[in-house]
């Protein structure tokens, strides 16, 4: 599965997870914001969806809206790779970020 194979709903779901993980250390760094917005462009999201993602970078998405069980099994590697990318984007992976990713990986097994 590649990013280009995700449907619209899954593209937005992916960005919601990316934004939630950008908030794992309680702040969104400029590099994380830039990573997320590059992903928006790469996925071809429309203006309304881009505004929604920008909003998640200002205020994190509600925790109940990023349920790992909503990630289709065949999309999990793509989601994990994108999340790993955003937490590494600022050049520093904080312990909270690494732990959140580890928990997600376990939930997706």
* Beta carbons of 16 and 62 less than 8 angstroms apart: no
Q: How far, in Å, CA of 82 to CA of 66, rounded? A: 14
CATH topology of domain 3-107: TerB-like (1.10.3680)
The pLDDT tens digits of the residues spanning 2-34 come to 888 899 999 999 999 999 999 988 999 999 999
In three-state secondary structure terms, 54 is helix
The pLDDT tens digits of the residues spanning 40-99 come to 999 999 999 999 999 999 999 999 999 999 999 999 999 999 999 999 998 988 888 889
Locate the domains of the chain by residue range: 3-107
* Token pair in block for residue 68: 């790992």
Residues comprising the chain, all counted:
109
Q: Which of 74, 68, 36 is nearest to 52 (CA)?
A: 36
What pTM value is reported for the model?
0.91
Whole-number pLDDT of residue 49: 96
Q: Which residue bears the tokens 């909503």?
A: 70
For residue 60, CA distances in Å to 63, 72, 75, 95 come to: 8, 22, 22, 19
């Amino acid at each position: 599965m590649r990013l280009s194979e995700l449907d619209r709903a899954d593209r937005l779901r992916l960005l919601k997870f990316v934004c939630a993980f950008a908030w794992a250390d309680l702040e969104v760094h400029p590099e994380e914001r830039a990573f997320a917005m590059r992903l928006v462009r790469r996925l071809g999201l429309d203006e309304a969806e881009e505004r929604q993602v920008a909003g998640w970078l200002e205020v994190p998405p509600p925790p109940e809206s990023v349920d790992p069980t909503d990630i289709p099994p065949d999309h999990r590697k793509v989601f994990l790779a994108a999340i790993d990318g955003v937490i590494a984007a600022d050049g520093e992976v904080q312990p909270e970020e690494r732990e959140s990713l580890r928990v997600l990986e376990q939930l997706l097994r």
